[in-house]
Structure 1
């Protein structure tokens, strides 16, 4: 068995207080962005190779993956196909790309609350007469149970959606009900979401085309249309299960210029009386901007048919921690012994960092005490009615150098679209059998999102796939890397 893929020697460390690649400027001299040497063919930007721009075609797998190769550390070129997959998947879900106010593909997917009837809205009345195009939001607790508020004092809200492939699997096996999940566990069947894979082997298609063209004495291969198109390297095929988690920021009404930097949606927030400051159930109509997103897709690639985990953020979210580390820092058991430290003064405005503490102070401190919703901004209030103090959030993990390059190239290709203001934090996949200190085999070893895992970034389990490898259903069954089947948790 070949063991390899050393970590790339080139360093990627953002200047203190700056978001990585936030300005979309190439800066080869200061270490912020690596010197780019690779050429990006236009066909890489659309999954079927039919366009030299991001498109609506969703990728289904990473055909370059070699399952016989054990990836222990992440090399520059090993990661590139996976980051390409992430960007192709992200842009396909956002289609139509240059009409951001039109309904996107992801909006056709059912939400967790749509699929699991036991997960009800706090105020069911908010769903009545909901205008077209409005999101209906209710969740504002992170997976750790913590609450995140931005620097304007407003809550961040979360939403989970499931693509039709995953939703159909859940309903076909009656996994959308507690009794159905219990029966499924007792049946002895394993929870096994559909896996995406290429529909045909390129060599077979090329051979079929050549044979048919030769038989027709057609050297120009005009017979291609009779046997189907040649499937390119990044070809789509059969889509696998896809799970999405969004983080939405409530946008202030008095800053149109700043708000224009976000993918926005009108939204209604469903609140019960025990969540509000005055004790009355409410429906709040607001505008929200996308600040974070996990995009998880099951594919054939990986050692053991696992999932590819992609995580995106808005570039204005947070600065880098003063002691940020590379995502493959596995030498020490405590990469952040003193926590993730504030960089101090910053040169731009961030949604989740105000620089209240001194440089070197621990950041990412959870909010203590009970917070309630007011009926006007700032929405996050103490029980006394006073405004809650917004925590300073920093990003603990640097971007891998190849991911930074991928961002630079894709953001440039998306110029003119609001999506150019989003960055890929990383693409995590199963590259080896795991074991200490390699976790479950995920590479890069660590991956977190500052809006979805704000307060646990410095912990030893700050790894998306590593955490979700422990997921079980509420019937106690191993749940194939998703907590979705324990909807009450």
Structure 2
């Protein structure tokens, strides 16, 4: 059941549901393990010093990352504002960027030009640019379809949230996506000039692959448009940021969107992937979060919830990708979480506890309306030096196998992260790129 019933069009609360949620302050109740510090509302990004021995400790690890990375950013890129108070964490109407939003975007990293200076002091505040309507654009464009089919099975055009496919919420607004990386990873790419195809290929050949430094973090986020006439009613329930968003004028011969004029819009966060490479997780820890009212698990529709990506009156088959040139951008997509990816009872309980902790810190915090979906981690990690120099890479005994975010893997929920990412490689060579597809942004000359 949802923490609070929130309409996609309004911010009305169901007080009965809210009163049912309990919160225990006993540290043992988190189930994080004897050697693991419990989550807390703070800006300190947790060290990877807890034994990766079970799923519960990894669930806590995920929440600790989420809480710190969503702290307000300082005037230095990638650094939290240590003067901010926990009592202001997630204050509605605060559109200042979070720590992860201050990271360089994938477009900023893969350009020969120097990225724009980070500034929070402009007259209008920080406004990001965003221009992706799907998560997998570069995968689909740059990997041959036979290889994609081998990776994912089936008809690529139908199951990939790519090649012009998109996701539209029940208000008729398209979802926008962005990818960012922390300073450690972006400095690694730019210092080695891996945005240049010749440098990238030479580097990969010399090192038998492109192996990212420890503590690299990549973020993928999904945002829904918040119409201005709904801003006042929704700002209490979503992390909202301002962004310059383009109009979509149509699609080219490759079914890629043709963008037009940019206008400022308010965007509400609906999905967040966090992947982090550590000594205990060289295959990365894959953490995924969603807004609580995105979509129901199949067979578990809560009639009191007005879902953002599900209409109980719709007769449409769920999780069907729209087709460019046939389907309207404004036609809502019917979405459900497949039963195999249902949030486990253990994670549901942890979510309630963390949401309660956030609420105890700031009763108005928008972050109480987000939930952990799942965490994937290597039970038998393989260090870089022991891995293969051609894809597919070893997966390190990655577990669990059922993990998907309904806003980012809408149409491929039966797949899991490593199905794709173990095959990541440079476009022009056979060398792997450490489970990351970001280097597909580098176009061969």
TM over 0.5: same fold?
Answer: yes
> Structure 2 length normalisation: TM-score?
0.71
Aligned partner (choices 305, 330, 339) of residue 348 of structure 1: 305
Cα deviations across residues 108-151 of structure 1 (Å, max 9, x unaligned)? 210001011289xxxxxxxxx99431111101123231200111
Whole-angstrom CA distance in 2 between matches of 1:52 and 1:89: 9
Superposed CA RMSD in Å reads 3.6
| Mapped contact 1:156–1:249 kept (Cα < 8 A) | yes
Whole-angstrom CA distance in 2 between matches of 1:52 and 1:367: 39
Q: 1:37 to 1:442 in 2, by over 3 A?
A: farther
Residue 380 of structure 2 is aligned to residue 406 of structure 1: no
Whole-angstrom CA distance in 1 between matches of 2:169 and 2:41: 31
Question: Which residue does 2:333 correspond to in 1?
Answer: 391
Whole-angstrom CA distance in 1 between matches of 2:218 and 2:298: 29
Q: 1:348 to 1:48 in 2, by over 3 A?
A: closer
Question: Which residue does 1:113 correspond to in 2?
Answer: 107
Q: 1:398 to 1:186 in 2, by over 3 A?
A: same
Cα deviations across residues 313-369 of structure 1 (Å, max 9, x unaligned)? 0001111112xxxxxxxxxxxxxxxxxxxx6783311111112445xx741111123
Residue 159 of structure 2 is aligned to residue 184 of structure 1: no
Residue 323 of structure 2 is aligned to residue 368 of structure 1: yes
Q: CA deviation at 1:98?
A: 4.1
Q: CA deviation at 1:192?
A: 1.6
- Matches for 1:418-433 after TM superposition, within 5 Å: 418-432=366-380
Whole-angstrom CA distance in 1 between matches of 2:123 and 2:132: 17
**Which stretches of structure 1, 4 residues or longer, exceed 4 Å deviation after superposition?**
22-28, 35-39, 41-44, 271-276
> Structure 1 length normalisation: TM-score?
0.65
**Secondary structure of 2:170's aligned partner:** coil
Question: Which residue does 2:390 correspond to in 1?
Answer: none
Whole-angstrom CA distance in 1 between matches of 2:259 and 2:41: 46
Q: Which has the higher helix share?
A: 2
Aligned partner (choices 126, 130, 143) of residue 137 of structure 1: 130
Q: 1:355 to 1:84 in 2, by over 3 A?
A: same
Question: Which residue does 1:237 correspond to in 2?
Answer: none
Residue 41 of structure 2 is aligned to residue 54 of structure 1: yes
- Matches for 1:45-444 after TM superposition, within 5 Å: 53-66=40-53, 78-96=54-72, 97-99=89-91, 100-117=94-111, 131-143=124-136, 144=160, 145=162, 146-195=165-214, 240-255=215-230, 256-271=232-247, 274=250, 281-302=260-281, 305-322=282-299, 346-357=303-314, 362-370=317-325, 382=328, 388-396=330-338, 397-415=341-359, 416=363, 417-432=365-380, 441-444=397-400
**Secondary structure of 1:82's aligned partner:** helix
Whole-angstrom CA distance in 2 between matches of 1:296 and 1:141: 18
Whole-angstrom CA distance in 2 between matches of 1:487 and 1:447: 25
- Unaligned stretches of 5+ residues in structure 1: 1-13, 29-34, 67-77, 120-128, 196-239, 323-342, 372-380
**Secondary structure of 1:192's aligned partner:** coil
Question: Which residue does 1:484 correspond to in 2?
Answer: 438
| Mapped contact 2:276–2:284 kept (Cα < 8 A) | yes
Cα deviations across residues 266-295 of structure 1 (Å, max 9, x unaligned)? 11113575559xx88211211000000100
Q: CA deviation at 1:299?
A: 1.1
Q: CA deviation at 1:26?
A: 5.7
Aligned length, in residue pairs: 355
Whole-angstrom CA distance in 1 between matches of 2:400 and 2:272: 18
Question: Which residue does 1:473 correspond to in 2?
Answer: 426
Q: CA deviation at 1:105?
A: 1.1
Aligned partner (choices 391, 402, 410) of residue 446 of structure 1: 402
| Mapped contact 1:181–1:474 kept (Cα < 8 A) | no
Q: 1:185 to 1:410 in 2, by over 3 A?
A: same
| Mapped contact 2:284–2:378 kept (Cα < 8 A) | yes
| Mapped contact 1:355–1:392 kept (Cα < 8 A) | no
Q: CA deviation at 1:473?
A: 1.9
Q: 1:391 to 1:272 in 2, by over 3 A?
A: closer
Larger radius of gyration: 1
